[in-house]
């Protein structure tokens, strides 16, 4: 096969550029890329990161267009709450969680003794984040951060993550080129981003290193420490399933409006079995899938149909629910943690 000279030049340049420089994001700005790399090198040196780690990071850095596509399309598809729970709190995940509880009873007990986080809660986070360590992510984290920095939407944030990753590699004698994780830059059994790992990472097995990717003890202790620092209360539940009257104001169902459980009771909120709520002054919100409620309401024709007597299923959300949202700011995620942890008790 013969190539003309222009094609030869293109193939030569593409071999030199970070993978893949053409196509997915338009013309690749090599000058901007090199300036970005120089800036990382300067910042790393200023933070006394070792030349070994700096040189390793600068070895064949790559731009990965699929990461940019993933970052831009995060909100493209939204699951209903029922779909989300069917996907995340399924029979396989529950069975696997119970097996893990049997495999690591001593370690889970140590985490609970150290941080007050019950075993079923730790297992629920582990199951949600990586399906108990089976789906850590395949991207070299340095390349994920370089790609997201170049894309520019949150360049400073991802630059800070890359510098934190380099410091973690230095402090724990890790090869930065072997640290892999998600396209968004999360790593290990519980999917910590580097700055979170810097703040809450804990040596769980006493070997003087923190490795949340390859060491389950470090990962569990780090998760327990993080939840403890978020204020987890082991004596409180996360959510309570409730039913609401048909005329309940759905504008109150995003979890942001908080009242005492006693006040919600006065507004007609009942336990899921139809009994009265506990007479409690604890503050809680209420979350429901309002899109599903809206769909039900559109089926009702006030001119021809009898007023429905249906009730709305929802979740009363206690303080631990909002602590979960500091880990992952999603109502659906927090409800899934609550449901999965109940199944793993």
pLDDT of residue 113: 98
pLDDT of residue 50: 97
pLDDT of residue 295: 52
Which range is least confidently modeled, 52-66, 68-82, 291-305, 329-343? 291-305
CA 142 from centre of chain: 19
User: d(Cα 297, Cα 299) in Å, to the nearest integer?
Assistant: 5
Report the length, in residues, of the chain. 345
Choice between 42 and 3, residue whose per-residue pLDDT is larger: 42
**β-strands 259-260, 312-317 pairing:** unpaired
Is residue 334 pLDDT above 50, yes or no? yes
pLDDT of residue 136: 86
Using a pLDDT cut of 70, give the percent of the chain over it: 86
Q: Which residues contact 5 (CB under 8 A, 6 or more apart)?
A: none
Is residue 36 pLDDT above 50, yes or no? yes
Q: And the tokens for 210?
A: 């923190």
Q: What is the mean pLDDT of residues 314-319?
A: 98
User: d(Cα 74, Cα 203) in Å, to the nearest integer?
Assistant: 33
pLDDT of residue 306: 52
Is residue 7 pLDDT above 70, yes or no? no
Instruction: Report pLDDT digits (tens) over 206-265.
Output: 999 999 999 999 999 999 999 999 999 999 999 999 999 988 999 999 999 999 999 999
Model pTM score: 0.87
Confidence of residue 76 (pLDDT cuts 50, 70, 90): very low
User: d(Cα 207, Cα 205) in Å, to the nearest integer?
Assistant: 6
* Mean pLDDT of the chain, nearest integer: 88
**Beta-sheet strand order (sheet of 259-260):** 259-260, 283-287, 312-317, 239-244, 270-271
**β-strands 180-181, 259-260 pairing:** unpaired
Instruction: Report pLDDT digits (tens) over 190-206.
Output: 999 999 999 999 999 99
Q: What is the mean pLDDT of residues 131-137?
A: 94
pLDDT of residue 303: 59
Confidence of residue 312 (pLDDT cuts 50, 70, 90): confident
CA distances, 171 to each of 99, 142, 257, 281, 327 (Å): 34, 17, 43, 47, 24
Phi, psi of 180 (to 5 degrees): -115, 155
Instruction: Report pLDDT digits (tens) over 260-288.
Output: 999 999 999 999 999 999 999 999 999 99
Which range is least confidently modeled, 64-78, 149-163, 256-270? 64-78
> Is there a contact between 142 and 177 (Cβ–Cβ < 8 Å)?
yes
> Is there a contact between 166 and 53 (Cβ–Cβ < 8 Å)?
yes
């Amino acid at each position: 096969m013969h190539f003309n000279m222009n094609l030869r030049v293109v193939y030569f340049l593409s071999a030199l550029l970070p993978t893949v420089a053409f196509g997915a994001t338009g013309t690749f700005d090599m000058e901007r890329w090199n300036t970005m790399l120089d800036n990382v090198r300067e910042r790393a040196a200023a933070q006394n990161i070792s030349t070994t780690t700096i040189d390793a990071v600068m070895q064949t850095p790559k731009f990965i267009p699929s990461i940019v596509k993933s970052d831009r399309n995060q909100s493209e598809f939204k699951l209903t709450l029922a779909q989300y729970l069917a996907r995340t709190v399924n029979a396989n995940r529950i069975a696997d969680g119970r097996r893990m509880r049997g495999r690591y009873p001593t370690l889970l007990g140590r985490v609970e003794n150290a941080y007050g986080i019950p075993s079923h809660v730790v297992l629920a986070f582990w199951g949600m984040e990586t399906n108990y360590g089976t789906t850590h992510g395949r991207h070299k984290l340095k390349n994920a951060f370089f790609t997201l920095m170049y894309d520019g939407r949150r360049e400073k944030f991802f630059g800070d993550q890359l510098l934190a990753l380099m410091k973690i590699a230095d402090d724990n004698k890790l090869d930065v080129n072997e640290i892999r994780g998600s396209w968004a830059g999360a790593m290990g059994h519980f999917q910590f981003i580097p700055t979170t790992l810097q703040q809450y990472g804990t040596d769980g097995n006493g070997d003087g290193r923190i490795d949340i990717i390859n060491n389950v003890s470090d990962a569990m202790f780090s998760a327990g420490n993080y939840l403890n620092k978020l204020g987890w209360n082991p004596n409180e539940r996360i959510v309570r399933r409730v039913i609401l009257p048909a005329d309940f104001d759905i504008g109150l169902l995003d979890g942001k409006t908080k009242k005492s459980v006693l006040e919600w009771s006065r507004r007609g909120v009942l336990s899921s079995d139809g009994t009265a709520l506990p007479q409690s002054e604890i503050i809680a919100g209420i979350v429901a899938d309002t899109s599903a409620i809206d769909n039900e309401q559109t089926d009702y024709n006030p001119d021809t149909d009898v007023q429905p007597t249906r009730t709305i299923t929802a979740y009363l959300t206690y303080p631990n629910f909002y602590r979960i949202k500091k880990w992952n700011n999603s109502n659906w995620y927090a409800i899934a943690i609550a449901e999965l942890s109940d199944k793993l008790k």
